[in-house]
Amino acid sequence: MNGRARWTATSPRLRPPPVLLAILFSTLVGGALVLVSGHNPLRAYAEIVEGSLSLDSLPDTLNWATPLVGMTLVAAIPLRGGMLNLGGDGQLVIGGLIGALLPLVLPGPGALVSIAALAAAAFGAGLYATLAAWGEARHGVPMLISSLLLSYPAVGVTSYLARFPFRDGATGLPQTAMVPTEARLHALSGALSAGSLLIAAIAVAAVFVDRRTVAGYELRMRGKNPRFAGYGGVRLERQAIGTMFASGAIAGLVGAIVVLGSQFRFIDGALLTPAYTWSGLMAALLVRGEPAGAILAGLFFAALQTGGFAMQRETSVPRVLTLVLQAIVILFLAMRQGVGRRSP
Amino acid sequence: MSVIFTPFLFQSAMQAITPILLASLAGVLCGRVGVFNLALEGQMLVGAFAAIVGSYFTHSALGGVAAAMAGAVAFSLVLAYGATVFRGDPVVIGIGMNLLASGLTAYLLRGTFGVSGAFSDPGIVGLGRIAIPPLIGVPVLGWAFGRQSALTWVAWALTALVSVVLFKTPVGLRLRGVGEEPDAAETLGVDIARYRVVTVLVAGALTGLAGAQLSLGAVSVFAEDMSAGRGWIAVVAVMLGRNNPLYVAAACVLFGFADALSINLQSQGLPNQLTDISPYLATLAALVISHRRRTRAPRPPAEVAAASASPAPVATGGSTLDADRGSRFRAD
């Protein structure tokens, strides 16, 4: 065991970056999978690149990246402190539902209404996320499990609310009524909407907090060694609750942005089917929560998934292949990082 | 009360328990050798898919079950080697495996059968239920076991078997040693890595059975992501039962009844969006109650801060590792 650790630790500069190796490995395995299912892997990959990075498709990629990068931050922020928030789905739908319902009842000028809806969505989802942190601090229930389990009731209850009490009578579909036009988030130009700018601003803020503030430093310290952080004066319970609030609030914001910026109503299931939460989690795991890297990884996965649509359209290779590719990248990295880790 | 506690409730509860119990036993085995298994959800899903493939192509339920076990064992190689020989973080590997299972089964569903969403076909032979006429009329026990698939019986037999093997045999002693005192076990000549790999693979076979029960048990169908959180509930059952098969089985019974109750409430007119969440609420409540009892012991204030990051240091044996692993995940 020790021999292996020493062997990999000798010449760090000669090693190729593990992330690139992981991407290469997953491309090969995914290619083999495509080949076995009777398609041409090179054509499939060409369609992914063409369908995500060409000038025509870049707006689509950015559009897809808005919620995905948001959910990447949702996972990355707690991960930076060694915590995992697996409840992004629940926080996302809570934010989405609040964002869809408030504009229906709030009077006032449109811009103010949408700002109030976004703020309320962030606050509500943030509060819900702190439940898991509070459960760990007060009752010792592991957050990894409780955050995930709390997601199911949130999804169930919001689904019920959208299907029964707040169902749109006009269409009869499981969705809420349309948000008034004035309260919607405007498209600035092409794919750029106010929502994309908001997520970009949050991303910049996350990097800034991580690198330049005391809170960011304390969170990183916790990620490296929570006991040391505790002895150094970090109030761990308060920090966990604050971190989860920030994480959940961003998830709620993402939900409200999707609702107010592109769907204009809460459609049951529509926020969950793209699986932003899990892609975001994988992007964050890819770089172990470092915010700038996580944002890049989120953009990369957004491009991969957007290209997946083109691939499915052009070559009939199912686009769920992109999920397989992402998972293989994570598994490969998890094992490689393990190899380099010194034994305790 | 008699409206709720019907024979049907016991029957559907027992049916709901089977896959969770099988997966939990797999989690117990892994936990006992010190490998925290978060991948139960994905392993079950792979098992469920392989069961359908096996049953479809061999036209026999047994072929389906064999394929489920083989598929889940093959998939478990990732955890078996990743978390031991390659020393990857089991939490990350578990999450990665769950997503891989979700993507891979959806991809193969389209590739093999050309459909998306769900697949069922008259060619798939289900497990069928074994009816035991003299038992059916017996209250409670007969209601529960009177008409169940063979895998339900297998699950309960395995619960007893795993208990006996773990606590009454030399192999079990070594297994527990590998998890609790790896250094001591190694000194005594136990090949830790080999024990871990083999145990994780055996556990993989159990998750395959769990998957087969899902897709071939009640109705013969495979649906994308049909494990629907059951693997996570099994993870919680393992935590609650502190890696002891009998306690874990008790936790599974609790969740099974919560699940059956939700079906029952649904048939009384409550919308299923609300009733579906009852197993998760029961799980959360059980977690809070059990951890509260465990952490109630007074501790000096300096330690409370540290404990909040890694709770339940007072727990005994294998569960210490689980709780530690579960709550904290090393960022580097």
Q: Is the pLDDT of residue B314 over 70?
A: no
A236: nearest CB among B88, B102, B308: B308
**Shortest CA distance from B233: residue in chain A:** A149
B207 lies in which domain range?
Answer: 7-295+307-327
**Mean pLDDT calculated for residue range B181-196:** 90
Tell me if A339 and B291 make a contact (CB, 8 A cut-off).
no
- Residue B127 has what pLDDT? 86
Dmax over CA atoms of chain B, in Å, equals 64
State residue B262's pLDDT score: 86
Across the interface, whether the CB atoms of A79 and B329 are under 8 A apart is answered yes
Going by C-alpha positions, the residue among B266, B273, B234, B267 that lies closest to residue B251 is: B234
CA distances from A319 to A82, A158, A269, B107 (A): 32, 28, 19, 8
**Residue B82 tokens, joined:** 């990743």
Q: Using pLDDT thresholds of 50, 70 and 90, give the confidence band for residue A13.
A: low
Q: How do residues B17-59 score in pLDDT, each as one tens digit?
A: 999 999 999 999 999 999 999 999 999 999 999 999 999 999 9
Q: Do B95 and A281 touch (CB under 8 A)?
A: yes
Q: Is B266 in the A-facing interface, judged by CB distances under 8 Å?
A: no
3-state helix, strand, coil in chain A (%, to 5): 75, 0, 25
Choice between B139 and B281, residue whose per-residue pLDDT is larger:
B281
**What is the three-state SS of A22-51?**
HHHHHHHHHHHHHHHCCCCHHHHHHHHHHH
Dump pLDDT digits (tens) for A288-308: 899 999 999 999 999 999 999
Residue B302 counted as domain residue: no
A153 contacts on B by Cβ (under 8 Å): 277, 280-281
Is the per-residue pLDDT at A258 higher than 60?
A: yes
The residue of chain B with its CA nearest to that of A85 is B327
Binning pLDDT at 50, 70 and 90, where does residue A338 land? low
Q: Which chain B residues are Cβ-neighbours of A81 within 8 angstroms?
A: 331
| The one-letter amino acid at A73 | L
Q: Is the pLDDT of residue B321 over 70?
A: no
Task: Say if B332 falls within a structural domain.
Answer: no
**Nearest beta carbon to residue A160 from set B82, B271, B305:** B271
Q: What is the pLDDT of residue B142?
A: 78
A299-323: average pLDDT: 92
Which residue in chain A has the smallest CA separation from B104?
A: A324
Could A288 and B111 be called an inter-chain contact, meaning their C-beta atoms sit closer than 8 Å? no
User: Which of B88, B104, B232 is facing A337, going by the closest CB pair?
Assistant: B88
Convert the pLDDT of each residue in A154-170 to its tens digit: 999 999 999 999 998 88
Domain count of the fold of chain B: 1
First-to-final CA distance of chain A: 11
Question: CB–CB of A139 and B310 under 8 A?
Answer: no
The mean-pLDDT minimum among A20-29, B229-238, B279-288, B322-331 falls in: B322-331
Q: Which of residues 141-180 of B touch A (CB under 8 A)?
A: none
- Under the banding of pLDDT at 50, 70 and 90, the label for residue A85 is very high
Does pTM surpass 0.90?
Answer: no
Measured CA to CA, the distance from residue A61 to residue B120 in angstroms comes to 35
Percent of chain B exceeding pLDDT 90 equals: 52
Say what the pLDDT of residue A4 is.
Answer: 44
B287 reaches A (C-beta below 8 A) = yes
- Judged against a pLDDT cut of 80, whether residue A339 lies above it is answered with no
CATH number at residue B112: 1.10.3470
3-state secondary structure of B330: coil
Average pLDDT over residues B156-168: 96
CA dihedral B241, B244, B245, B249 (to 10 degrees): -20
Question: Measured between beta carbons, which residues in chain B are less than 8 angstroms from residue A336?
Answer: 86, 88
A198: helix, strand or coil: helix
